[in-house]
Amino acid sequence: MRIRATQSLLLISACAFASSVQAAQWTMATPYGDASFHTQNTKQFAKDVAETTDGELTITVHSGGSLVAHGEIKPSVRRGTIDAGEVFLSVLSNDNPIFEVDTLPGVAGSYDEAFALWQATRPMITELFAEEGLIPLYAVAWPSQGIYTSEPLTDPAQFEGLRVRAPNINTQRFVSNLGGSPTETEESDIPTAFSTGRVDAMITSSSTGNAMTAWDYVSDYTDANLWLPKNIVFISQRSFDRLDEETQSALMDAAARAEERGWEASREDNQMSLEALEENGIAVSTPNEEVSAALQRAGDALFEDWRSRADDEAEQALSDYREQVGREQAGRE
């Protein structure tokens, strides 16, 4: 009897051990704080994964750059230090110009166009990620980018020597084209950058301005609708391959839901954030004719620089996007 009881206990222990081995626990890093709708969406994605896989896959999201600095997130996932990450897509522009196409003024000026641009460029981006052992899960746009200043922006000459927070290389080039002095500053460091005089202005979205309580250090927001950049969430191919097929399928389904939910959240957050800016004393306006012309010239120069660096595949992806948008516009007329 004691032998049988011992055998039963061993069998139960073995089953429990096998179950614990099968369950995967992933670590994910994002540079954005908990107040960001992107982070809220990412955490909901992780919750969905845990629920739909019955705990077979859990993802712990480390927000606000608390685990890995923004610039190290992609290398960390590639090395296998962490399993998943979220980054501002255009911070990867040194790897390939296709990653910065969504920060080119005039390319996509609405949510519908920004989503169409993502669909057109996604195959190339997926291929480039695959070469590094990575899988893109989903991407979500920020609201369109505008300019925060400490006085009304009425004259292009105001850009001369202006120290502007620019979170990626393309925005830095854009600021330089305007005559300003670009300064790279992470979102979490914005208040300190203003209080210490490292920056005088910033190019970012209504959402970031609201999350970072921009009214504490600037007075005006010029809603210039420069571009709608994206965040991208991705995972390690090796981590994915360790999952069984059912868990893999549940993960990808949750990612599809996160993408749809994220784009809708961005639209809603934009409207809410614009209202919050005004309620807290920031004057919200659109560029006047002179400023618009200066922004256009700076954007044209930025686009020509991009074309000089882009390969045929990137050019084709942009061409496909423009053809699609053209067909959709013709269909609405």
Calculate the dihedral angle through the C-alpha atoms of 268, 34, 66, 188, rounding to the nearest 10 degrees.
60
Q: How far apart, in whole angstroms, are the C-alpha atoms of residue 306 and residue 87?
A: 21
Longest pairwise C-alpha distance within the chain: 93
CA-to-CA distance for 213 and 208, rounded, in angstroms? 8
The strand pair at 201-205 and 163-165 is best described as: parallel
- 59 φ/ψ angles, rounded to the nearest 5 degrees: -125, 120
- pTM as predicted: 0.89
* 8 A C-beta contact, residue 189 and residue 172: no
Count CB neighbours of 329 within 10 A: 10
Rounded Cα–Cα distance for residues 120 and 322 (Å):
9
Contact 87, 74 (CB under 8 A): yes
C-alpha span between 280 and 166 (Å, rounded): 24
Output the tens digit of pLDDT for each of the chain's 333 residues. 444 444 444 444 444 444 445 689 999 999 999 989 999 999 999 999 999 999 999 999 999 999 999 999 999 999 999 999 999 999 999 999 999 999 999 899 999 999 999 999 999 999 999 999 999 999 999 999 999 999 999 999 999 999 999 888 889 999 999 999 999 888 888 999 999 999 999 999 999 999 999 999 999 999 999 999 999 999 999 999 999 999 999 999 999 999 999 999 999 999 999 999 999 999 999 999 999 999 999 999 999 999 999 999 999 999 999 998 887 777 776
Indicate the domain borders of the chain: 25-332
Amino acid of residue 57:
L
Q: What SS3 state is found at 136? A: strand
> Is 3.90.230.10 the CATH classification of the domain at 25-332?
no
Q: Which of 110, 168, 185, 165 is nearest to 143 (CA)?
A: 110
Q: Determine the Cα angle at 82 with ends 248 and 126, to 5°.
A: 55
